[in-house]
Structure 1
């Protein structure tokens, strides 16, 4: 598999600036999201609804997810070919099971969305105050998976924190009701959930971003299985191009993106999802780095530092090379990724 993967990457790299060819027949791709359908997934559904996937000869089926780290395990199990999930889970698996670990091909979240959420005026004044307290955490979430790494970076003992498994839709409620002292959250999800509950996320709650504690890491993007890379590299290029086109559309007209989400999930709150989408674009996607390199790309030096952090904090048996966890060979031209 390693040989096939390297060959596929090399072949695509030679024509990375070329337009991906239209395939002779539709190739099915099973795609898993990181979570339930939200405004931040608009580009995936818009690419399908506008026929961008079909133009690339792809038949893409999109399913809801169970956590951004769970996206990796879903792909490694063979149940899915591609998905939207966490870079750091790729790094961990690339160090332990490199033959089956997915490869990131389009980095969407340039900034990490992980945070510890607490109530303003509660017992948690610093991250160190979590010791001896309870935190709620969905078991498949990247925020949960990275909590020990956060503890090491912030200088508190994760073993002294009682981590309680909670359903994703109950995280904020359990915190509000005092059943837990903190929640391990995705800010892009919880921020808007709090607004939906009629509270102010800026004054009623305190946020402890993982990045501010020293974890300068990447997060969610589009990843694919080694099998898809080896067998259909042209399909990977086509899928990324279709998503990039849809992202450009959504960034130009966010309301149109949310309208597609409302069509797919009629019970969603369009006003709330529009705020969620704007929050993600402002806080997670647009950055000085992504402006310079284009959406979808990474800074290799930063990625190497991130890999070293994850290696050390998880005591991984090997240090994956940046090229083993991310490939830029499938990125479309800069004009499709600029903003």
Structure 2
């Protein structure tokens, strides 16, 4: 009898130990993974250029990489200055705007192209029947008064056989170009197709549009791009790869599911709800523009990158010439 009691007590003890071990194992597997918080700065208010970022966040792609990406809008300083000064490791910027920074030796690198080709160009009031750059002569052009912008206009006009000196330059002080264009403040302005052109369409404002790149391949620069601080990249190469891996998946998903992606953008930026129809159309357009081959999303073509900066150098538009292969890297893409 004593032996039976002893055996029963031993079996019971083993059962308790096994049960406790299983409970500990369950507790261990259920413990939340601690995510590394990383700041990421937008260039402007949330828009369809940024959709892939929010899709990656919504779908858990960053969490899968152990990252908690905190997507922020810059306050008073520009995104580039904040990244240059290491106040944020990454952000959204533009190859043309990077030029003045890189000419001064700024420690930033473009590590991915958000959109494969330059989708900016000139929008015009359709009733004026301006169908090409040369036909801008004799009309009012709403300008941001940026040297690169004005030289781009002159370049495509002259390549098209037009006379830039006959364009009347009008300051553009609005936060979009459609309102002053429709109100007759000016006849034409530089815009991005995915935003102002589609905004005009959604409001029933008839416009014409032509891309810079169609008249001058030199102007097929990358806009926008993801930039990062050079010291951050040096010290956190694998982390940067993880972030880009998640972002790439976000943009690939947005390419395949543009309407759902638009809904996700609006979820994170509810101020866009009143522009929902426009956002969906913009997203459908960009789904065809982010990358012609989704597996190659983010890749920066060295020839195109250098061609644009060589053009800037020839025009004397930077304080110092920008050497070839400056300011970009494909090393963080997979």
Q: What range describes the TM-score normalised by the shorter chain of this pair? A: 0.7 to 0.9
* Secondary structure at the counterpart of residue 259 of structure 2: helix
- Aligned match for 2:321, one of 318, 322, 329: 318
Q: Is the 8 A contact 1:114 1:209 kept in 2?
A: yes
Q: Distance in 2 between matches of 1:249 and 1:122?
A: 40
* Secondary structure at the counterpart of residue 325 of structure 1: coil
* Secondary structure at the counterpart of residue 146 of structure 1: helix
- The residue that corresponds to 2:155 in the other structure is 152
Cα RMSD (Å): 2.9
- Aligned match for 1:231, one of 209, 229, 235: 235
Q: 1:158 to 1:114 in 2, by over 3 A?
A: farther
- Aligned match for 1:285, one of 286, 290, 294: 290
- The residue that corresponds to 1:298 in the other structure is 300
Q: 1:302 to 1:249 in 2, by over 3 A?
A: same
Q: Is the 8 A contact 1:103 1:225 kept in 2?
A: yes
Deviates more, 1:51-60 or 1:218-227: 51-60
Which residues of 2 match residues 42-191 of structure 1 at below 5 A?
42-64=51-73, 70-94=78-102, 96-100=103-107, 102-122=108-128, 124=130, 126-130=132-136, 133-137=139-143, 145-155=148-158, 156-157=163-164, 161-169=168-176, 171-191=177-197
Q: Is the 8 A contact 2:148 2:317 kept in 1?
A: no
* Secondary structure at the counterpart of residue 127 of structure 2: coil
* Secondary structure at the counterpart of residue 118 of structure 1: strand
1:117 Cα deviation (Å)? Answer: 1.0
Q: 1:37 to 1:315 in 2, by over 3 A?
A: closer
- CA offset digits 1:89-116 (Å, max 9, x no partner): 224422x22243x211111211112111
Q: Is the 8 A contact 2:41 2:79 kept in 1?
A: yes
- TM-score normalized by structure 1? 0.75
Indicate yes or no: 2:202 matched with 1:196.
Answer: yes
1:304 Cα deviation (Å)? Answer: 2.3
Q: Distance in 2 between matches of 1:123 and 1:245?
A: 42
Q: Is the 8 A contact 1:90 1:103 kept in 2?
A: no
1:243 Cα deviation (Å)? Answer: 0.2
Indicate yes or no: 2:255 matched with 1:248.
Answer: no
Q: Is the 8 A contact 2:255 2:290 kept in 1?
A: no
Q: Is the 8 A contact 1:150 1:213 kept in 2?
A: no
Indicate yes or no: 2:282 matched with 1:276.
Answer: yes
How many residues end up aligned between the 2 structures? 291
Q: Distance in 1 between matches of 2:283 and 2:62?
A: 22
In structure 1, runs of 5+ residues without a counterpart are: 1-23, 333-339
- The residue that corresponds to 1:9 in the other structure is none
- TM-score normalized by structure 2? 0.76
1:87 Cα deviation (Å)? Answer: 1.8
- CA offset digits 1:282-305 (Å, max 9, x no partner): 2x3233xx56x7111122223222
Q: 1:165 to 1:228 in 2, by over 3 A?
A: farther
Q: Distance in 1 between matches of 2:54 and 2:328?
A: 24
